[in-house]
Amino acid sequence: MSWRNIRAVMRKEIQHIVRDRATLILVLITPTVLLLIMAYALTVELEYIPVAVLDHDRSSISRKFVQQVTAGEDLDLYAQVDRFDQIEMMLVTGEIKAAVIIAPNFSQKLLALEGLPMQLIIDGTEPESGNFAVDHIAQRVEQFIREVMSKQLQTSGISEEALLPIDLRLRAWYNPGLRPRVDLIPGLISMVLGFPALSVALTLAHEREHGTLEQLMVSPIGRAELLLGKMIPYVIVGLANVIVMPVLAMLWFAIPFNGNFVLFFLLSALFLFAILSMGIIIGVFMRTQAAALALSFLLIFFPGFFLTGIFFPIVAMPEIMRMESLFLPGTHYAVITRGVFLTAIGMDVLWPYAVMLAGLGVVFTGVAALFFRKRLG
């Protein structure tokens, strides 16, 4: 193994990356753009939904109820209607996502503590806003009932605490607001950082297509020297992205970065080594750039999307998929990014994942060097 040969290939590859604008954009800008697109497309942080109210009771209590439900910014009183068919029309046209219908005997039953005759209708075609409506309206209703009850109880001389002996308070660790983006963005980062693997897969196929590989094959350069020389520059470019991503996450999406950045950087280098060697394998076997591109999506990006546990928990997968996910560098790296970003765990917890990444990298590079022949055809 000669360092001079590796360095020669590296220098050439860097010159290629820097001078070929398409490659430069592909490796430097794409991860950022992908992160932005996916973060916005995949995580909907609902701020409010429009709601209609049909009040059959028309009492001062029902008015107070409506007022209280729509007092916050999360539930926007879009319209007070008189007939049910109006609600239906608004749901169909998407003007409202939920509707509250108050029964004629609302105040009567409430004051008699016999229940709360009201109905909540949600638009089931959009589960995201439906859930939002259920959660938020239920909270308000509970609050309203409490207030009414405590007044009633006070007049009858019973304290509130006697009726509610258990005070349940929920607290979500690491993501107190339970914001979906806080959990998802570190996962997405683990995915978009693997993007230079595509460029590596393309670069070997590119040399094959342009005939420069033939010239390298007749030279005395070693196979491993050639493959490493091609891979290292992309690891370096990938590490530039490793610095950009947390900054973007913190400043743009307000995601906390609680862990150790140096640890994150080093483990990211391991991940890049592993995922880029997958790219190298594809480059070794595919004759054309088109084929390399197609296979990269099939082997790296689609599994990276579905099998690495970013969107779907791995424990919920069938056995065979769980096995497959073990061979994807993204699976281990997603644990690392989430861990370092949110829970600030260190090597004491992350070492098995680091070992897996290093192992996959060595095995993949080995397979690539083994099957790469300095021959045509």
Partner 1 sequence: MEAGREAEAIITVHDLTREFDGRRAVDGLDLSITPGELFGLIGPDGAGKTTTLRLLAGLLKVSHGEAQVAGFDLLSQPEEIKPRIGYMAQEFSLYAELTVTENLLFFSDIYGVDPEKVNERAERLLAFAGLQEFKSRRAQHLSGGMKKKLALACTLIHEPEILLLDEPTTGVDPVSRREFWEILTELNLSGTTILVSTPYMDEADRCERVGLIYDGRLIICDTPAAIRGKLPGEVLEIRPGDWRAARGVVTSLPGVHQVQTYGEALHLIVDSAERRAGEIKAALMEKGIEVPDLNPVPPRMEEAFISLIHRIESGVQV
Contacting partner 1 within 203-262 (CB under 8 A): 210-212, 214-221
- Strand-pair partners of 76: 50
If the CB atoms of residues 318 and 377 are measured against partner 1, the closer one turns out to be: 377
Asked whether the beta carbons of 90 and 116 are under 8 A apart, the reply is no
User: With contact defined as beta carbons under 8 Å apart, do 8 and 229 qualify?
Assistant: yes
3-class state of residue 83 by DSSP? coil
CB-CB contact of 105 with 117 (8 Å): yes
CB of 211 to partner 1, least distance (A): 4
Counting contacts by CB under 8 A, is residue 375 touching partner 1? yes
Pick 120 or 221: Cβ nearer partner 1:
221
Which position among 157, 165, 177, 377 is part of the footprint of partner 1 (CB under 8 A)? 377
State in angstroms the smallest separation of the CB of 219 from partner 1: 5
Considering only the stretches 82-90, 142-150, 343-351, 368-376, report the one whose residues sit in contact with partner 1 under the rule CB under 8 A.
368-376
Q: Judged by CB, which is closer to partner 1: 206, or 332?
A: 206
Buried/exposed 210-234: b ≥16 CB within 10 Å, e otherwise: eeebeeebeeebbbbbbbbbbbbbb
- CB nearer to partner 1: give 27 or 189: 27
In the bound state with partner 1, the residue whose beta carbon lies nearer, of 79 and 216, is 216
Looking at beta carbons, which pairs linking 29-34 to residues 24 or more positions away fall under 8 Å?
30/192, 30/195, 31/192, 31/193, 31/195, 31/241, 31/244, 31/245, 32/192, 32/241, 32/244, 32/245, 32/248, 34/188, 34/192, 34/195
Site for partner 1 in 2-21 (CB under 8 A): 2, 4-5, 7-9, 11-12, 15-16, 19-20
Contact positions with partner 1 (CB under 8 A) in 139-198: none
- Which amino acid does the sequence have at 80? Q
Q: Least distance in Å: CB of 370 to partner 1?
A: 16
User: Does residue 287 belong to the site contacting partner 1 (CB under 8 A)?
Assistant: no
Residues engaged in binding partner 1 (CB under 8 A):
2, 4-5, 7-9, 11-12, 15-16, 19-20, 210-212, 214-221, 374-377
